[in-house]
Structure 1
Amino acid sequence: PAYPGERLAYMVEDAGLGVVLAGRSVAGVVPVGVPVVVLEDVWAELESCPDTAPDSDGTCDDLAYVMYTSGSTGRPKGVAVTHADVTALALDSRFARGHECVLMHSPQAFDASTYELWAPLLSGGRAVALPQGAALTSESLRELTAAHGITAVFMTTALFHLFAEEDPGCAEGLRELWTGGEPVRADAVRHVRAACPELVVVDVYGPTETTTFATCYRMEPQDPTPEVLPIGRALDNTRVVVLDRSLQPVPAGVAGELYIGGAGLARGYLGRPELTAEAFVADPFGSGGRLYKTGDLVRLMPGGDIEVLGRVDDQVKIRGFRVEPGEIETALTQHPAVRGATVLVRGERSARRLVAYVVSDGKVTPGDLKSYLGERLPAYMVPGVFVLLDALPLTPNGKVDTAALAALPWEEHASPAGEFVAPRNDVEERLAQIWQDTLGTSRPVGVHDDFFALGGDSILSLQVVFRAKQCGL
């Protein structure tokens, strides 16, 4: 419901929706022209319906959902996932024990929700929903675990790193903690395992196109923590191979691209046969199946686990969300005052953020650009910082010189326009210092500054709250 209206309208049209089911509080955001059934108005009718499925002509190969991911061409891609795909994930043997009660806190538009809902329910377990409007904090995780007997939780790498730094004992009482979406730091894992010695920590990997999870690296309480965490091995009925550009296997230790096949492989991209053909290739080993081309550069380690080395394209991960910088750049260049744009990731660890380098005619401000993108893209895709340039630096062959852009200072641009007002008392000084430390900037913070205009996001805001509580504020 928080997506911009333009984005929602595109998804409704692209998916060919015939009806939308919605709660009354969010029914108003549904684009005009689509019938809406307000759930509160039909509860009595729903309660009178049979609790068993009617006979139908449906099969396990029918669609269960379409989930949209960022697209490099400027158009989001709808990943078409079937009932068989969801079942293949939920019935993996790794969920047979330890996942009897799973915390459901991910947005339904994020593929982790597939695990959170169906892994426990299809095995006779329970899914405990985070209260509406609440954020998952270390404090709420403790409270929910104690109140509901939660046994397992998945959290994005960024949130895991935050909890590991601020409150590593918050996972006490859980049996398993799964984390992934970006590379997981070994020091963060050590902090959590030291505070929760009975906890099983799992580094998990999987694109939306392979129905949430495809591989995992499991660390039992007695296992050491590797210096570099691999993404492990394939889940049940999943096949992973490391290939070169000619789709030939590479030896162990040699870098290649990761391809995934087997159960759980999505049907493809809804209504995008050309993109489906590019990403879902015929298995070159004669099985008659398909392999998904992940774009991740990996190597097979001697023991059989897989280690991620980077990307073979420009895709990045921000707080667990896949982001194609090209989609943001396309949206920016549609602004009438913008003549060119490049988007990079800057900052380290929890302070990583999207920075947009923009060439304009001088009649636009960073605030204008942020508002413009906010009307077209989800919040996680809107850069926190906009750097206005006279021209983009180019390499000798005429391409944008991203190395030169990365060398430019950007922190001074991470601030809204307006007069700087220094902190006026001890409380404001301490809060300003917390903001400065959390954002990883040496630039002074003023009392009228906007946290999100400075490059902050939802994960960093949790860190600010935690540090403020520690200081008694």
Structure 2
Amino acid sequence: MTAFSIPARFAEQVARTPEATAVSDAARGTSLTYRELEHRANRLAHRLIGLGVGPEDPVAVLVERSAGLVVTLLAILKAGGAYLPVHEADPAERRQWIVDRARPSVLLVDDAMRAAGVPTGVPVVAVDDPGIAGEPTDDPGVPVHPDQLAYVIHTSGSTGQPKGVAVTQRDVVRLLSDPQWAVERHARVLLVAPYAFDVSTYEIWMPLLHGGQVVVAPPGRLEPPLLRELITTHRITGLHLTAGLFRVLAEEAPATLAGVDEVLTGGDVIAPTAVRRVLDACPDLVIRALYGATEGTVFSAHHVLTRDARPGKVVPIGDALTGIALHVLDEGLAPAPVDAVGEIYLAGEGVARGYLGQAGLTAERFVADPFGLPGSRMYRTGDMARRTADGTIEFVGREDSQVKILGFLVDLAEVEAALADHPGLAQVVVLAREREDGNKQLVGYVVPESGDLDLAAVRAYAKTKLPGYMAPEVFVRLDSLPLTANGKLDRDAMPEPDFKQVLASRAPETPLQHELCAIFSSLLEVPEVGIDDSFFDLGGQSLQAMRLCSRIGAAVGVGVSVNTLFDTPTVAELATYIEAKRAAYQPQTAS
């Protein structure tokens, strides 16, 4: 092994600080030292090797966020394999497709995920099997070359199917060894991103390869009060927040981040006003705006913001990380002139191997680098940008059908392909439309095969086929799709959706219902809300859900979590829940 593989770097750290805490599990109140993490991972690695896992074999993972997840991922790498995350929030059909396409040698699950149902057609091994405790604790000694795969993470694909991005050990170690990182600011990092998203690479391996501590957030959605508690209790020094969540915290509770040394944010356009609000509340905080792609190993460029270096009208993409070239090119692959819009290409270190089992798509997106060494490649991001006279790169938008929703890259073609299987639809087009609050929301334009169409049924169907952030909440029925003069689809002629449309609903009756309707109306900017109206049917999104829960708690004195809102999304259901909680808190009188 060399120091450019994750297992080798981790082994070096175990030798330096064997008794230091490596992982803390916030939900369970447990922790693992570096030595304990090493031994547990070695046991599971030996079991995987005994099952035939070898170099670069993909091993599927469907495990709840926990210390056991960290053990699992490390064990796979120690066995020489590459971990293949299967997202628990994905519909069963999508999870099965990923497993069928990648053909992993093993699927690792825990009790929590097994109970919810797992993909078929692959051997299943329980990571919490008591028999694993009998495996050897010594390192299995499998040579791991830096150019071996570390993981395969699936992103939204323009073919209508997910695409698995194959990233090597060398690329991960290179990212986390970049001199831009002030390692002391990332001594205790919060693991909160789903491990099926590439940001988890930073959250897990940054602290572990530098002697720090991974603090595992409890399963489920992270809400501002819980985030504040975790930051305070576990003395979090570094964490990543999507641009959308960062904006919510800036508007609702910017002091939540007090005490943190550095916050990373990105995944979408970062609001300068949000940065300024957070820096006003937390003047000692460093905010690092990041730009990147899964195909470029998470992060490729950064821009540091502090109380002395505040943003102007926009937050720029920033400077490329060490060893990375960030080009803004025209259609002929020549550098775009100053202030002209071109496409961003990533080159140099960090460019992924390609898409697992998709040679044609790999050749299309990973192209020869005319500026690099012979045989080197660039990744076409599809992001459009301009370079100003002073060298600043400013993001403009997407050149294809991919958009950012809640910080996640979504390919509209994949959403359309999923909806097209609905038996009542003749045609469907999905667009990302901007709401008045500046957030983008997916809108489905549908043409029925005949007669009427139950849009609520279409919406429910979408949620069974797609992850939550990819499923449109708003649908518009059309008699036919608008076309241009030459017969092409005219997306510009699609009617504006009515985000404020209110379906027939009962009026509020009790004081609590009146208060909840007023909160819904104010937050969603809907003139009238009935008690049968669902927060999500009115256009509410996940980030707005956190604001709603915060406002309800402040107004009625009963805490409501985002998970509760997903289970009880109407005013009537929320009122019933709150009244039940109040009754439970009411002291009993003696008879």
Instruction: Specify every segment of 5 or more residues in structure 2 that has no aligned partner in the other structure, as ranges.
Output: 1-87, 558-591
Q: Give the match for residue 374 of structure 1.
A: 463
Matched, 1:322 2:409: yes
Report the secondary structure of 1:446's partner residue: coil
Q: Give the match for residue 126 of structure 2.
A: 38
**Displacement after TM superposition at 1:220 (Å):** 2.7
The 5-angstrom pairing of residues 62-141 of structure 1 reads: 62-95=148-181, 96-133=183-220, 135-141=221-227
Distance 2:239 2:543 in 1: 17
Matched, 1:9 2:93: no
- What's the CA shift string for 1:146-176, capped at 9, x where partnerless? 1111111111111011111101111100011
Q: Give the match for residue 365 of structure 2.
A: 279
Q: Give the match for residue 511 of structure 2.
A: 426
Distance 1:174 1:88 in 2: 25
Could you state the TM-score of these two structures normalised by the residue count of structure 2? 0.76
C-alpha contact 1:337 1:363 (8 A) present in aligned 2: no
Matched, 1:169 2:255: yes
C-alpha contact 1:153 1:178 (8 A) present in aligned 2: yes
- What's the CA shift string for 1:162-192, capped at 9, x where partnerless? 1111011111000111111111111111111
Q: Give the match for residue 308 of structure 2.
A: 222
**Displacement after TM superposition at 1:55 (Å):** 2.6
Distance 1:343 1:9 in 2: 24
Distance 1:125 1:161 in 2: 28
- What's the CA shift string for 1:32-57, capped at 9, x where partnerless? 22211112224x524753253x3324
Q: Give the match for residue 471 of structure 1.
A: 555
Q: Give the match for residue 46 of structure 2.
A: none
Distance 1:119 1:392 in 2: 49
Read off the aligned partner of 1:126 and give its amino acid letter: Q
Distance 2:427 2:516 in 1: 37
Q: 1:157 aligns with which of 243, 246, 250?
A: 243
Q: Give the match for residue 292 of structure 1.
A: 379
Distance 2:424 2:166 in 1: 37
Report the secondary structure of 1:139's partner residue: helix
Distance 2:314 2:161 in 1: 35
What is the percent sequence identity of the aligned residues?
43
C-alpha contact 1:439 1:455 (8 A) present in aligned 2: yes
The 5-angstrom pairing of residues 353-392 of structure 1 reads: 353-360=441-448, 361-392=450-481
Distance 1:132 1:277, change over 3 A: same
Distance 1:120 1:161 in 2: 26
**Displacement after TM superposition at 1:350 (Å):** 6.2
Distance 1:107 1:350, change over 3 A: farther
* Greater relative CO, 1 or 2 (CA 8 Å, sep 6+): 1
Q: Give the match for residue 240 of structure 1.
A: 326
Q: Give the match for residue 439 of structure 1.
A: 524
C-alpha contact 1:386 1:414 (8 A) present in aligned 2: no
Matched, 1:183 2:269: yes
**Displacement after TM superposition at 1:371 (Å):** 2.4
C-alpha contact 2:279 2:306 (8 A) present in aligned 1: no
Q: Give the match for residue 19 of structure 2.
A: none
**Displacement after TM superposition at 1:471 (Å):** 2.1
Q: Give the match for residue 49 of structure 2.
A: none
Q: 1:459 aligns with which of 543, 550, 568?
A: 543
Q: Give the match for residue 396 of structure 1.
A: 485
Q: Give the match for residue 342 of structure 1.
A: 429
C-alpha contact 2:502 2:529 (8 A) present in aligned 1: no
Report the secondary structure of 2:446's partner residue: strand
Distance 2:305 2:499 in 1: 38
Distance 1:261 1:174, change over 3 A: same
Could you state the TM-score of these two structures normalised by the residue count of structure 1? 0.94
C-alpha contact 1:386 1:413 (8 A) present in aligned 2: no
Distance 2:215 2:377 in 1: 35
Distance 1:431 1:350 in 2: 24
**Displacement after TM superposition at 1:413 (Å):** 5.3
**Displacement after TM superposition at 1:456 (Å):** 2.3
**Displacement after TM superposition at 1:433 (Å):** 2.2
**Displacement after TM superposition at 1:137 (Å):** 2.0
Read off the aligned partner of 2:531 and give its amino acid letter: V
The 5-angstrom pairing of residues 191-210 of structure 1 reads: 191-210=277-296
Instruction: Quote the RMSD (CA, aligned, Å).
Output: 1.8
Instruction: Specify every segment of 5 or more residues in structure 1 that has no aligned partner in the other structure, as ranges.
Output: none
Distance 1:437 1:325 in 2: 30
Distance 2:258 2:438 in 1: 23
Report the secondary structure of 1:345's partner residue: strand
**Displacement after TM superposition at 1:380 (Å):** 1.2
C-alpha contact 2:508 2:530 (8 A) present in aligned 1: yes
Distance 1:31 1:414, change over 3 A: farther
Q: Give the match for residue 253 of structure 1.
A: 339
C-alpha contact 2:476 2:497 (8 A) present in aligned 1: no
C-alpha contact 2:224 2:546 (8 A) present in aligned 1: no
Report the secondary structure of 2:180's partner residue: helix
Distance 1:276 1:439 in 2: 42
**Displacement after TM superposition at 1:403 (Å):** 2.1
Distance 2:236 2:514 in 1: 39
**Displacement after TM superposition at 1:211 (Å):** 1.1
Distance 1:163 1:107, change over 3 A: same
Q: Choose 296-305 or 120-129, whichever is displaced more.
A: 296-305
Read off the aligned partner of 2:137 and give its amino acid letter: P
**Displacement after TM superposition at 1:351 (Å):** 4.7
Distance 1:272 1:2 in 2: 24
**Displacement after TM superposition at 1:310 (Å):** 1.0
**Displacement after TM superposition at 1:247 (Å):** 0.5
